Each structure stands twice: as C-alpha cells, then as structure tokens.
Amino acid sequence: MRAARPRWNACCALLDPFAVGDTAGAGGSTSTGRYGEEPPRRHQLLVGAASASDLGVRQQPRAATADNGQRSRLWQPADDSGPDRPRASFRAGFGPHALAVTDMILAYTDTVLSGDRAYLTDWQVEVNHSIKETGLSFNTDAVLAVPTKTSEVRLFELDNGTMSQARLAKEVWDYERYAGHRVWGGARGPHGSTYPFWQRHRYTRSERFPRLHVVLAGMEEHLLNNRRQALTADARGITIAMWVNTLPRLQRGEPWYEIGVDDPYRRRERYPEPAGR
C-alpha cells in the first residue's frame, strides 16, 4: 500500500509559488508556526494553517487536520494509481481563504504590532468555540496570543467575499452569545455564584472577553467599504469589543473602526442565568 504524503508537502504542492522545498526531515515534520528569532514567511503560516493541530494549543479536531502523519480526510487520491490531489472543495474554498488569513496575520503583525513580533507568543487557526448545553458552535479563523493586562488573546474573523451579509452578521452575534453564556462555579466556587463560560473553561487568564477583529477581503475596495458599513448597522448594540477593517486598509496601516464595546453588565441582562442546581 502506497504511503500517504506528508501534510506540509501536500500544502506546498497546492501553493507552489510559496513552496519551500525539502526543508523538513524525513519524517515529514514541519514548523510549529511559532515565531523564533527570524520573522515567519508567508509559506510558514500557510503550513501552519493546513496543520493547526501542530501548534501545541488547545484545538478541536478538524477535518483538515490529521494526527500521527495519517492522511487528512480532505485529501483523497484521484484513483488507485494517480498522485494524491486535493478535492475540488479544497482548491476552491480552503486555499484562497488560507491565503487571505495569512495576509491578515502578517498585515496585523507588521502594522498594529509595528513589526515587533515578540508580543505575539503563539497563534492558532480554525479554532472551534462551542457550548454543548446550547448547541452553539462556530470556528474562529485565527486566535493570536498577544497577552495584555485584561486579555490573553485576540480573535480574528475573515470574510473573503464569500459570505452573505446575513451570515456574516450571524457569525459576529454568535460571539456575543458565546460570551453571554454563564455556568455555575462548581465545587470550589461560592454557593449560588455563576461565571462566564468562556472565563471558566476557555480563556481563564482573561478578565474581559477577547476583542473580536473582523477583516473584510476578496472584493474591490469600494465594495468592502459597503460591507463594512452594512456590518456596522447589523452589529449595532452588540456587547462585545469588536473592531472591523478591510484587508487593504490593514495592510496600509490605517486605523480600525470600533463598532462594538465590551459591556459585561448589559450582556448579563441580555442572557438568562443558568437553571439552579
């Protein structure tokens, strides 16, 4: 039986202009995606996007990842004799989106962080946020670990011009629903006290819910500005910190638009307390 190709090799084959050649060992291992002494190149982030589970941070299993070098479910041979080829859904969807996410991360670190990537301690892509009790589940395109006094990470959603305006609005409101869910404190907590689910089980070192950054790409700039204005109207009244920008503006270092402010008190009024024990 023919051995499966390493995941990073397949990703580089798909994105040939950014392929790095035979830089990994015989075992097919790849960079963890963390910043070292040298700034990461675009292809390094792309490999990280294709194998997010290698980043060493909490990660829900995804169809696009595989453990122990096994073939990802997104990769299937065209036939028993031909070479492995990505399915059409991968070529049409994941590839362009991964490129745009990479451009977003690089633009953010080059402009907002002023190129000082020492502040960026880690990152993770395609991060699942879910609450079993309510059935809420969504994936965040990128989570950058930039620790501050009140928050340990920053959340990033990128629309590459493929989502409808209604779907984009639903995604940003899902973040508020996630932030508003509360749970009982448990055996160690004070009797009768509830806590935000995210603070108890996800971002335990954060005092405030992480800021959401929405980046719009994949269209002419005047169309991106129209989508930004529509999203501003759709997100009116949201109770999480939310900034929006277009990818061209971000790459030029232009400021973000603040369209949401973190308000835990109003958020708590909006979402009911969990049922008593």
Domains of the chain and CATH, by start: 7-92 (no CATH), 95-270 (3.40.1350)
Q: What is the pLDDT of residues 198-246, one digit of tens each?
A: 998 899 899 999 999 999 999 999 999 999 999 999 999 999 999 999 9
Residues 6+ apart with CB under 8 A from 132: none
Torsion of CA 206, 40, 45, 173, to 10 degrees: 30
173-185 pLDDT per residue, tens:
999 999 999 988 7
pLDDT at 122: 87
Tell me the CB-side half-sphere exposure of residue 215, using CA atoms within 13 A.
28
Helix count and strand count (H, E) for the chain = 9, 10
Asked if residues 150 and 207 have their Cβ atoms less than 8 Å apart, the reply is: yes
What number of other Cβ atoms are within 10 A of residue 58's Cβ? 10
pLDDT of residue 141: 96
Q: In whole angstroms, how far apart are CA 143 and each of 47, 55, 104?
A: 16, 12, 12
Residue 118 is predicted with a pLDDT of 74
Instruction: Give me the torsion for CA of 197, 200, 204, 210, rounded to 10°.
Output: 10
- Contact status, residue 110 vs residue 42, Cβ threshold 8 Å: no
Per the model's pLDDT, the better-predicted residue between 29 and 99 turns out to be: 99
Q: What is the pLDDT of residue 190?
A: 54
pTM check: above 0.85: no
The DSSP letter of residue 5 is: P
